[in-house]
Amino acid sequence: MPLLSQEIATQVREYLADLTSPVRLVMFTQEFECEFCAETRQLVEEVAQLSDQVSAEIYNFVTDRQKADELGIDKIPAIAVLGAQDYGVRFYGIPAGYEFSSLIQAIRTVSAGWPELLSPEGVRRVSQITSPVHIQVFVTPTCPYCPQAVVLAHQMAVASPMVRADMVEATEFPHLALKYQVMGVPRTVINEKIHIEGAAPESMVLAKLEEALAGSKA
Amino acid sequence: MFQFSPGAKRYEVLIIGGGPAGATAALYTARAGLSTLVIDKGLTAGALGTTSRIVNYPGVPGPISGAELVRLMRDQAASFGAEFVNDKALRAELTGEEKKVWGGQGVYLGQAVIIATGAMGRARFVPGEERLLGRGVSYCATCDGAFFRGRQVAVAGNNDEAVEEALTLTRFASRVHFLSPTPELHASPHLAEELHSHALVSFYPAARLQEVIGAETVEAVRFTSAGQEQVIPVEGVFIYLQGNMPVTDFLDGQLPTSEGGCLLVDSNFQTAIPGVFAAGDVLCKHLKQAVIAAAEGAQVAMAVDRYLHGREKLRPDWSK
Amino acid sequence: MFEFKLTAPGQGSAPSGAEEQLYDLIVLGGGPAGLTAAIYAGRARLKTLVLTGYLPGGQPANTDVVENFPAFPDGVSGPELAQRLQQHAQRFGARLELDEAVGVDFSARPFVIRTPKATYQGKTVIIAAGAVPRRLGVSGEERFFGRGVSSCATCGGFFYRDKEVVVVGGGDSALAEGLFLTRFARLVTIIHRRDELRATKIYRERALAHPKIRFLLSTVVEEILGDQTVSGVRVRNVKTGQVSTIQADGVFVYVGMQPQTELFAGQLALDAQGYIISDRRQRTSVPGVFVAGDVQDPLYRQIVVAAGTGAIAAMEAEKFLGEYPDVSV
């Protein structure tokens, strides 16, 4: 029984029809103690069927530990979206509900290797970043406002080798929700200390990013 | 389970708000062959939608509910090809040839934009609301309900959206305290019925939310109901209150407004930015009647049509 | 066809007592603007009289299907819309008379309105007498009007997808509507009696360059042809005298509008074209006299826009009566 309806599969196929460079969906799973690993794996495999340019690679989080470390994967289910290079685009937890759009958008952006949804000003400022930035966007699948925050973070990851960006499905990682005090989504956490509530505009996220970096230098 | 909204879709006309002004504008632009998208928060989100009994819309002696009247107008626009999306405009980039509007579900692109968002925005936060946003204060139960499993929450509001969100919260919360600013709900009868009969919901009529209390996170709400002040311990507060301010927050000050926050337009309903138009209650210039807003919707649509076809403005024609 | 029935208060012969002839509001015109004004005034419990004229219903009564009046998703026939508006006004207590003003006196208070049948007094007046498209005055025009012959491309253009249509006129309206019709029609023939177009440059250039538009200049329409529906027009070249037939499924006549304002000249400020001058609140140059609909609107000429101005005019009249309750005596 496929996860994606015929209608959505058709839409995605059309939307990915003009990809010009290959994208690898590298997925980490394990057989037990992982609520949505099986579904996430199935989803990745189904999406890979919808474009010649998209492939799925499945790894075991325990037995393929080295591969996981290489990509900085520390929890499952996880998807690393890789293109000509690793831009640092990650999904932790199943990208279901509204987040499915974020996954498809990430595939497009990574294939292009260019943050097409970022403003020229945004690209300029993000590409000037010289120290590492880790953006975590906490979401729930039922949140219509969350993809905006996730997509923006992933765009920034593609714009700079210093930036990596994770979607984190809060209900699948309750200990992280607790740790980062997530009581509402989207909640964006930058370098463990700066928080943004809600789907903020690009200019505000940029400002917060720069604030996080200024703080780390001080 | 999987929802997919393909990235940016392009339209000739984006209309923000689907009340009488927006829906009529959509009817006119769609009928003129312009690809049209209406971004709207639902049938009972606006002033007309919350009105229960309309008797003076010409040709419809009624009584008809505002929501039903709006639905008729939208069906008519849709029959000519106008598309509707249930979304909330969060921000907009209006300068330039291509206008961008971001909603919760994606970005929408248009050659022209009509702002018909009405005047039911809230003027201010209640004390504690802004400070505790994301710390228990939320505007989206479907997003955040899961964080309040087994806890007590409050919902403030009285329209369909508030009731639907409260019902969503009953799947998680141990109790939902529903604070209706009015004695009766302004919601569809079946929703009101479901809320009133729900075992986990406590209903407080004519309840004015005064304060959200909490140090780090929400701990309680203070409100008055029937003249009595009450404080109820809750860990979440979901707010769907409405006011009477023009809804322009998503514009981030890109367009000039009057002192009262009303958008300013010229005689062709165009704002200071070419290709960006506005009509209806958001202009606060007219008497708040469905037929008058609808009339403005038709006028703004005709101005947009002329804008997109390179005509500067409407001109009278005296030719014989 | 359209049937007019008086069913509400006011049915029967005109009352005789002077007191009963005094109204809070007299509306001149029974189209969408006037009737919406009457709905609002009746709802506000103003004693309201509508002089509909002898062909009530206004412009929509001549229109086959009205598709763009909001809240009628399946469309509504023009006559049915007219009847609905009348019944709606009557339900709120407005009195409708199939009668027409032949004289007005806006210098008197209350205002005096004379018809062939009676003399009425109104504390306030709303003029909603409309404007009529100038007609060509050729054979077949009357018979097919509203059924293939029209003065409103935005109203009826949608029906002519992949069909051939004729537009008569050479001004901005004719060319603008001709361009509008190219979105639907396969071929638009614009017929103009002069050898050059009066329209402004931008329209001329666009229309001349448009592949779907062709022009017949120095040409007049002599007859609209057809059996059940319009099949074409017979035209004559005024220079050569040559007569020919143009095939067409629809004919759009844009030879100007005529606001119905002869009666008010000298008493109200009119513009050069005869439209009544008013402000945003629908007030005319005479306090207490308001105006609504096409009689003050050379631009939009839409039913819903007319209705909107009718509502504004009525609410302003009500406000006026509140501020000057003794205007009548």
Whose structure tokens read 């640092």?
Answer: A88
pLDDT of res. C159: 81
Which residue among B106, B146, B217 sits closest to A171, beta carbon to beta carbon? B146
Q: Do chains C and B touch (3 or more CB pairs under 8 A)?
A: yes
Set of chain B residues whose Cβ sits within 8 Å of the Cβ of A15: 4, 6-7
Chain C residue numbers with beta carbons less than 8 Å from the beta carbon of B311 are: 176, 202-203
* C-beta separation of B154 from B236 below 8 A: yes
What pLDDT was estimated at residue C64?
65
Please tell me if residue A122 touches chain B, with a CB cutoff of 8 Å: no
Q: Do chains C and A touch (3 or more CB pairs under 8 A)?
A: no
Rounded Cα distance between C312 and C128, Å, is 12
Which segments of chain C belong to CATH 3.50.50.60? Answer: 19-132+257-323, 135-253
Average pLDDT over residues C153-169: 84
- Report whether the peptide linkage leading into residue C110 is cis, meaning its omega lies within 30 degrees of zero: yes
> Which stretches of A49-138 are DSSP H helices?
65-70, 99-112, 120-127
Annotate B168-184 with DSSP letters as a single string. Answer: HHTTT-SEEEEE-SSSS
* Cα C106 to Cα C95: distance, rounded to the nearest angstrom: 21
Structural contact between residues B109 and B10, judged by C-beta atoms closer than 8 angstroms: yes
Nearest chain B residue to C303 by CA: give it: B295
Cα angle C266, C267, C270 (rounded to 5 degrees) comes to 70
What's the pLDDT tens digit per position in C285-324? 999 999 999 999 988 888 999 999 999 999 999 999 988 7
List, for residues B183-238, the tens digit of each pLDDT value: 989 887 888 999 999 999 999 999 999 999 999 999 999 999 888 999 999 999 99
Q: Which are the contacts of A127, defined by CB distance < 8 A and separation ≥ 6?
A: A159, A160
Look up the pTM and report it.
0.73
Return the residue in B36, B291, B304, B305 with the most chain C beta carbons within 10 A, the one to mutate for interface testing.
B291
Reported residue count of chain C is 329
Question: Does residue B68 belong to the interface with chain C, where contact is any CB pair within 8 Å?
Answer: no
Instruction: Please state, in angstroms and rounded to a whole number, the distance separating the CA atoms of residues B312 and A10.
Output: 42
Range from A161-175, B300-314, C173-187, C261-275 carrying the lowest mean pLDDT: B300-314
> Which residues does chain A have within 8 Å of residue B9's beta carbon, measured at their own beta carbons?
none
CA distance B266 to chain C (A): 13
- Backbone angles phi and psi of B316, in degrees to 5: -70, 155
Specify the DSSP class assigned to residue B43. Answer: T
pLDDT of residue B128: 95
Q: Cα C52 to chain center, whole Å? A: 13
Q: Would you state the pLDDT for residue C274?
A: 92
Residues of A in contact with B138 (CB under 8 A): 183-184
pLDDT tens-digit series, residues B24-65 = 999 999 988 899 999 997 766 677 776 767 888 999 988 888
CB contact under 8 A, B104 and A145: yes
Q: Say if the Cβ atoms of B295 and C308 lie within 8 Å.
A: yes
In single-letter form, the type of residue at position B73 comes to M
pLDDT bracket for residue B4 (50, 70, 90): low
Domain B137-239 has CATH 3.50.50.60: yes
**Which of the other chains make 3 or more beta carbon contacts under 8 angstroms with chain B?**
A, C
| pLDDT score of C13 | 38
Instruction: Tell me how far apart the terminal alpha carbons of chain C are, to the nearest angstrom.
Output: 44
Q: To the nearest whole number, what is the mean pLDDT of chain B?
A: 88
Q: Does C310 touch chain B (CB under 8 A)?
A: yes
Superfamily of domain C19-132+257-323: FAD/NAD(P)-binding domain (3.50.50.60)
Q: Which long-range contacts (CB under 8 A, 24 or more apart) does A195-198 make?
A: A195/B134, A196/A149, A197/B133, A197/B134, A198/A145, A198/A149, A198/B133, A198/B134
User: Quick one: which of C158, C175, C182, C187 has its CA closest to C246?
Assistant: C187
Closest CA to C171 of C135, C138, C203, C141: C203
Which helix (H) or strand (E) is B204 found in, with range? strand B201-204
Q: CB atoms < 10 A from the CB of C11, how many? A: 12
Catalytic option among B40, B87, B144, B305: B144
* C 144-203 → B contacts, CB under 8 A: 154, 158, 169-174, 176, 179-180, 183-184, 198-200, 202-203
Least Cα separation, residue A135 to chain B (angstroms): 17
Give the residue among C206, C218, C251, C260 at the shortest CA–CA distance from C233.
C251
pLDDT for B113: 98
Q: Rounded to whole angstroms, how far apart are CA atoms B52 and C177?
A: 40
ipTM of the complex: 0.80
**A9 near B CB under 8 A:** no
**Does an H or E element contain C32, and which?**
helix C32-43
C243-257: pLDDT as tens digits: 999 999 999 998 888
Is the pLDDT at B295 greater than 90, yes or no? yes
Residues of chain A with Cβ-Cβ distance to B215 below 8 Å are: none
Chain A adjacent subunits, 3+ CB pairs under 8 A: B
B284 is known as an active-site residue: no
Domain extent listing, chain A: 6-212
**CATH classification code of B10-121+244-309:** 3.50.50.60
Q: What is the pLDDT of residues C5-50, one digit of tens each?
A: 333 333 333 444 554 689 999 999 999 999 999 999 999 999 999 9
Task: Identify how many contiguous H helices and E strands chain C contains and give both numbers.
Answer: 7, 19
Using the Cα atoms of residue A13, residue A16, residue A17 and residue A21 in order, give the sign of their dihedral: negative
Tell me the shortest Cα–Cα distance from B165 to chain A, in angstroms: 12
Domain ranges of chain B: 10-121+244-309, 137-239
Q: What's the CATH number of domain C135-253, 3.40.50.150, 3.40.190.10, 3.50.50.60, 3.90.1150.10? A: 3.50.50.60
Mean pLDDT, chain A, integer? 92
Burial of A180 (0-12, 13-18, 19+ CB in 10 A): middle
Rounded to the nearest angstrom, the gap between the alpha carbon of residue A25 and the centroid of all alpha carbons in its chain is 11
3-state secondary structure of A26: strand
H or E segment and range at residue C35:
helix C32-43
Contact between B187 and B120 (Cβ < 8 Å): no
pLDDT score, position B17 = 95
For residue B159, give every residue at least 6 positions away whose Cβ sits within 8 Å of its Cβ, in sequence order, or none. Answer: B44, B45, B49, B50, B185, B186, B187, B240, B242
Query: Pick from B276, B279, B273, B245: which is nearest to B259 by CA?
Result: B245
Contacting residues of B for A185, CB less than 8 Å apart: 143-144
CATH number of A6-212: 3.40.30.80
Which residues are B14's β-sheet partners? B37, B113
Cα of B17 to nearest chain C Cα, Å: 16
